[in-house]
Structure 1
Amino acid sequence: MQTQSTQFDFTGQKIYVGIDTHLKSWNVTVMMDPYYQKTFSQNANAKTLFNHLQENYPGGSYFSAYEAGFAGFMPHYRLMGLGIESIVVNPADIPTTGKEKVQKNDSRDSKKIARSLKNGELTPIYVPSLQTLADRSLVRLRKTIARDLAKTKTQIKSFLYCNGIDIPEELSKDNWTRKFIKWLTEMEIGPFRETLDGHLAKYHYFYAQKLDINRKVKALSVTARYRENMELLQSIPGVGYITAITFLTEIENIKRFKSLDRLCSFIGLVPSTNSSGGNERIGEITPRGHRILRDIMIEASWKAIGKDPALGATYSKLGHRMKPNKAIIRITKKILSRMRFVLNNQTRYELGYK
């Protein structure tokens, strides 16, 4: 007896998959031309999704998209490895209806992503290599440890102040020297000793961690992947090795920015604008951008105006007609222009260039 096969062949058809990612589950919407749509929930696993697509849409060409967020880029790599053309998108760039804004849920999110992917409305964000992701994680860990150490120092100072413990005059201007730590360790403070010892244990732990991570980041900066570009960037006044290695690991490839404006926009150094009826109002710097790079570049700019006479003069001139925080943004853009130039042209910066 012959049985009729119900297996469909989707060869040549495009299957669009919108994924709303969560820690333990994914909400998935599958769309095809002209009107097909299916939404379901599955465990957070790329292989599970691939098996579902293979079983239900064999032979199809699979395209997926999900929002950048806590999941990082690992789902993207795994989906690509299985033959699914994946993109990662900025949540703010996904077209959203008024109803979707006020009635937000996982199913609507995955449908919205699938619909926009199918309509060709999504612009993918740049996905770095796995090696760069690993390097970036190491550099970011240094920042986290430095922040933890600074927080612990503040807690110790607060503990001393709240309990009426005065720092000796000879140590008040040389905090966190060996003499200061020795004083903290040996002074008699009665029942508060145990608490202070706990704070000091945290301090010594984070201090050791900082020394270790600094060695690792320094070693990373002189590897073949970064050595030449590190030297180029550090030829620019104000750009130290931490600024340089952070920039390189966060950007990866400077050539993906076709203009300085695009680089500044990515970092978040462009003002918000409101244009209507022939009038244009320029607002504050948009909150959208790369906060890590924005912070470290502004910090480098403050250093640069003290090292580069031309930048110092420019900052002083700008200071006559705008607030310091706006003037330093102009300086930051100039430094970014120099960084982009030396990397694109593989030439050191010479003091006196604009």
Structure 2
Amino acid sequence: MDCHKQYDHATIINTETGEIRNKRLAHTTEEFREFIGDKADTRMVIESCWNWSRTYELTKDLVEEVILAHPLKVKAIASAKIKTDAIDSRTLAQLLMANLIPEAHLRKADNRIKQRTIRHRAFLVAMRTRVKNRINDMVSSQLLPAETLAARPKNLFAKRGKGENGVEWLKSLEWSRAEDSRMFESNMRIVEHLSHEISTSNEMVKDIYEKDKDARLLSTIPGIGRTLAVLISTEIDGIDRFGSPSRLCSYAGLVPSTHSSGGKTYHGKITLEGNKWLRWALMEAVVPASYADAEIRGKLNALRKIKNANVAKTIMARWLLKVLYHVLKEGRPYIAAHPADTNPGRLSIALANSQ
């Protein structure tokens, strides 16, 4: 099955007669049922893409088994100079017949709902940040009096109770043009609306957190709060599917690339393959973790002396990922074992005794 936005292109191969049928299908249960028919012993393959779950939900009860194919690995096995929907669909069917489909992880419905929820929150926060940056640009482009500039807070969006009130300072500005004033007010309303939606989304994340044992364990790790804990737990979707910490690091794309030829091996930048959300979450957790935990702070500072800041941060993100692997694997919360240990090459974690 070759999936698309408006339709899917399906190919059926009869393993006994060799008959091949293909058809473009609209996204309706009736069309799929009519094409597949009463074939309880049929196996189907879908290439993983942004909308694979829709086709999966339409067909999971019509066939015996649905396999999710890894798109990059399929391309490596069966790349073609001529590419059409019919050819792609037939290629997938032929690979399935030969048991050569490189499988991707097929998430269950409840995990996909959690995934959409936490990514929706991330989308809202990203939108709000963009609007805040626009407001910052507008303020920076204005010619303001010296006394107004002197009173400018460091955080323009801090509210009362946090030491400074940036919002009040913003609202007190006198704009030189009426158009700028109207755009500023529009942007402020957008920020306020998005903040309200983020608060609503936070409640949804909180509900997930309270029901997710893995997320609660992850929140014991420094730098990983409730939101990141839910995101990481959701993206991992069961630690048992990873046989080792190295495999989890590879899944997150936090391992160095390797080039080996003629007896010489070179290691380069991280691969950036795999789950970008998991990679982003670990990178986000590094700095807060260094503030909260002496061991992590010591390791990060030691790395910064021999590596640039970004490389040091990436290494610590990989270290944190190994830590959380053991936390989830053992099902025990994290505690710092050796606060004075600053050796970046040694993974030292402690797992609290289960109560």
What TM-score results when the alignment is normalised by the length of structure 2? 0.84
Consecutive unaligned residues of structure 2, counting only runs of 5 or more, are 160-164, 338-347, 350-355
Q: How many residues align?
A: 329
Q: 1:307 aligns with which of 292, 305, 308?
A: 292
The residue aligned with 1:87 is: 67
Within 2, Cα distance between the matches of 1:97 and 1:243? 36
Cα shift at 1:254: 1.1
Q: Which amino acid aligns with 2:166?
A: F
Q: 1:185 aligns with which of 153, 171, 174?
A: 171
1:24 and 2:6 matched: yes
Consecutive unaligned residues of structure 1, counting only runs of 5 or more, are 1-18
The residue aligned with 2:352 is: none
Pairing of 1:102-121 with structure 2 (within 5 A): 102-121=81-100
Cα shift at 1:70: 2.2
Distance 1:49 1:341, change over 3 A: same
Within 2, Cα distance between the matches of 1:159 and 1:28? 52
Indicate conservation of the 8 Å contact 1:80/1:86, yes or no.
yes
| SS in structure 2 at match of 1:73 | helix
Within 1, Cα distance between the matches of 2:173 and 2:300? 47
Q: Which amino acid aligns with 1:200?
A: M
Q: Which amino acid aligns with 1:32?
A: N
Indicate conservation of the 8 Å contact 1:116/1:122, yes or no.
yes
Pairing of 1:44-123 with structure 2 (within 5 A): 44-54=27-37, 59=39, 61-96=41-76, 100=80, 102-123=81-102
Bigger relative contact order, structure 1 or 2 (CA pairs below 8 A, ≥6 apart)? 1
Within 2, Cα distance between the matches of 1:126 and 1:160? 47
The residue aligned with 1:39 is: 22
1:218 and 2:218 matched: no
The residue aligned with 1:11 is: none
What TM-score results when the alignment is normalised by the length of structure 1? 0.84
Query: Residue by residue, what CA displacement relative to the aligned partner does 1:95-124 show, whole Å, maximum 9, x if unpaired?
Result: 557871x32221221122112111111122
The residue aligned with 1:171 is: 152
Within 1, Cα distance between the matches of 2:194 and 2:309? 34
Within 1, Cα distance between the matches of 2:64 and 2:72? 24
1:239 and 2:224 matched: yes
Once superposed, what is the RMSD of the aligned Cα atoms?
2.4
Q: Which amino acid aligns with 1:278?
A: G
| SS in structure 1 at match of 2:151 | helix
Within 2, Cα distance between the matches of 1:90 and 1:98? 12
Pairing of 1:128-143 with structure 2 (within 5 A): 128-143=107-122
Indicate conservation of the 8 Å contact 1:73/1:127, yes or no.
no
| SS in structure 1 at match of 2:311 | helix
Query: Residue by residue, what CA displacement relative to the aligned partner does 1:222-269 show, whole Å, maximum 9, x if unpaired?
Result: 2xx31x433322222222222211111222211111111111111111
Which of 145-154 and 44-53 deviates more? 44-53
